[in-house]
Amino acid sequence: MIGAIIGDIVGSPYEFANTSDIRFPLFSKRSSYTDDSICTVAVADALVRGSDFGSTLREWCRRYPNPMGAYGCSFNAWLHSNAPRPYNSYGNGAAMRVAAVGWAFDTEAQTLRAAMASAAPTHNHVEGLIGASTVARGIFILRDMIEPTFNCRDIDSLLEYHTAWIGNGTSRHRAYLTRHARDVYLLHSRSAVRQMALKMRYAKL
Ligand SMILES: [Mg+2]
């Protein structure tokens, strides 16, 4: 979870001004926590207290109403609704807040169930659920430094995800991902990631 928050702060100046330079500065005066950190903390808090994911997310996000990057329109409406209902989002919001789930359970099945439960109050579309469970599963597997079975297909999946989400993949990107794949994610399945990446590209979230 601390890694997720550091990543959020490092990436914050580039959310709406992307860079393809892999040697970008990690911190600057423009760096701050965003909605991603607040939602990540809320999910962790729900796990620790055993409270409901939806109401805990609303509690934390209402407490911090104007983070850098801002809440998405639909999420913001959900936050302030008197009768909040899941709105079938297939954006990345469920995946970006799920980190703590990857650390909270002893089995992969429990991890996947909790990841989906943390997504469901807002991202109840199948792609939203897959996004959350993919990231949580990656953390669950990598946290014990179990040797992941990365192979060419995994690297291709990462590259495909990266290309659809960030921009054109290059041989430099591929070399970088090959070196660092272990530190990023272990992906759920190639087809699930392809579907998620395509949805994200079309949704432009
Ligand atoms: Mg965000």
Read off the pLDDT of each residue in 118-123 and give the average, rounded to a whole number.
Answer: 95
- 113 vs 54, higher pLDDT: 54
Residue 151 CA to ligand 1 center (angstroms) comes to: 31
CA of 98 to the centre of ligand 1 (A): 13
Segments in 50-96 forming alpha helices (H): 53-63, 73-80, 93-96
In this predicted structure, the answer to whether residue 153 has a pLDDT above a threshold of 60 is: no
Residue-wise pLDDT for 127-144, tens only, equals 888 888 888 887 887 776
The pLDDT of residue 75 is above 70: yes
Nearest to 92 by CA among 54, 48, 40: 40
Mean pLDDT on 116-132: 89
Token couple for 33: 């926590």
CATH code, 2-146? 1.10.4080.10
Question: Which pLDDT score is estimated for 128?
Answer: 85
- Does residue 194 surpass a pLDDT of 60? no
Ligand 1 centroid distance, CA of 39 (Å): 9
How distant is the alpha carbon of residue 92 from its chain centre? 6
For the chain, the structural domain boundaries read: 2-146
Separation of 119 CA from ligand 1 center, angstroms? 15
38-71 residue pLDDT tens = 999 999 999 999 999 999 999 999 999 999 999 9
Mean pLDDT of the chain: 79
Q: How far apart, in whole angstroms, are the C-alpha atoms of residue 117 and residue 136?
A: 12
CA of 77 to the centre of ligand 1 (A): 15
Ligand 1 centroid – CA 179 distance (Å): 27
Residue 29's closest CA among 46, 13, 8, 11?
Answer: 13
Helix, strand counts (H, E) of the chain: 11, 0
Nearest to 92 by CA among 14, 138, 143, 39: 39
Q: Residue 96 Cα, ligand 1 centroid: separation in angstroms?
A: 8
The whole-number pLDDT of residue 156 equals: 57
How confident is residue 90, by pLDDT bands cut at 50, 70 and 90? confident
Name the residue among 139, 119, 141 with its Cα closest to residue 131.
119
Q: Are the C-beta atoms of 85 and 101 separated by less than 8 Å?
A: no
State pLDDT tens for residues 4-20: 899 999 999 998 888 88
